[in-house]
Amino acid sequence: MSSDPQLWVVRLGPMSYGSALELQRAAARGRISGEIPEDLLLLVEHPPVITLGRSTKDANLLVSPQLLAARGVELFEVERGGDVTFHGPGQLVGYPIVDLKRHRKDLHWYLRQVEEALIAALGDYGIPGERSAGYTGVWTGGGEGVGRKIASIGVHARDWVTWHGFALNVSTDLTYFDLMVPCGISGVTMTSIERETGRQAPLKGVERAVAAAFGRVFALEPRWVAADALASLPGRK
């Protein structure tokens, strides 16, 4: 087995947001303690859920919790940075559990690296990923103007270990974003890989592209690890 630093990539498949949140918090504790010796990338697809980050303004959620519940959309307040966003079917959500002490102790650098990995993965689909000045996330089609947002990013860290992460729209029902001001950016247009390319993009293929890009950007060797390897993490309920 290679002695190079690894990125353990875990395909979780469809999973409720609450279960994934519990798992990534436990994984972060394991990474902080050293019980998990390598960085992780957890890949998951959630049922419809809206999450409120630390910077969320009340006015950016445009409907009541009761209306969300009636539509089958869960609602969570979480510790990540950023404003309100949506996760749902057809969207690849990634939770990198990365020990920045082994990379660079700089959260701004880390956010740019996550953006860079997503931009590289989008390149595999012929989509020119872009940054937008003053915002975190990935856009496309901007040129000299404001582009369409294709991926959102919001993270948290303790003892320089990260959790939470990114949401990349693959075949997402974009009408869910009408329930909010996405990421608190007024007038933003959300898009997806399938909308940009006009063709289907199987989620597993996008997972492979993203995992490879994260490996390159963070100078880690991706290694696919079975989800049940995380079942005995300390602190899981």
Question: Could you tell me if residue 124 is inside a domain?
Answer: yes
Any domain includes 237: no
Task: Please report the pLDDT score of residue 109 as a whole number.
Answer: 98
**What pLDDT, on the 0 to 100 scale, is given for residue 1?**
45
- Residue 49 placed within a domain: yes
Which H helix or E strand runs over 27? helix 17-33
Looking at residue 108, what is its pLDDT? 96
Look at residue 76 and tell me if it is in a domain: yes
Please report whether residue 236 resides in a domain: no
Q: How confident is the model at residue 229, as a pLDDT?
A: 81
| Per-residue confidence (pLDDT) for residue 143, from 0 to 100 | 62
pLDDT at residue 231 in the model: 76
Q: Which residues are catalytic?
A: 183
User: Domain of 134?
Assistant: 6-230
Q: Average pLDDT of each block of 10 consecutive residues along the chain (237 residues)?
A: 82 96 95 95 98 89 93 93 93 98 97 98 97 92 78 96 97 95 89 97 97 98 91 61
Q: Mention every residue, 6+ apart, whose C-beta is less than 8 A from residue 113.
A: 103, 217, 218
pTM of the full predicted structure? 0.94
Counting the structural domains of the chain, the total is 1
User: 166, 155 in Cβ contact below 8 A?
Assistant: no
* Tens digits of residue pLDDT in 176-226: 999 999 988 888 899 999 999 999 999 999 999 999 999 999 999 999 999
State residue 94 phi and psi, 5-degree precision: -125, 135
Do 193 and 150 contact (CB within 8 A), yes or no? yes
Going by C-alpha positions, the residue among 175, 199, 203, 153 that lies closest to residue 45 is: 203
- Helix ranges (DSSP H) in 147-223: 193-197, 203-217
Contact 110, 155 (CB under 8 A): yes
Does residue 119 lie in a domain region? yes
**Distance between CA atoms of residues 50 and 78, nearest Å:** 10
Is 195 buried (19+), middle (13-18) or exposed (0-12) by CB count in 10 A?
Answer: middle
What pLDDT is attached to residue 3?
Answer: 66
Nearest to 164 by CA among 41, 5, 68: 41
d(CA 74, CA 70) in angstroms, rounded, equals 10
CATH of the domain at 186: 3.30.930.10
Q: Is residue 224 part of a domain?
A: yes
Residue 35's closest CA among 234, 236, 235, 237? 234
Confidence (pLDDT) at 234? 58
Integer Rg of the chain from CA: 17
What is the model's pLDDT at position 37?
Answer: 94
Examine residue 225 and state whether it is found in any structural domain, yes or no: yes
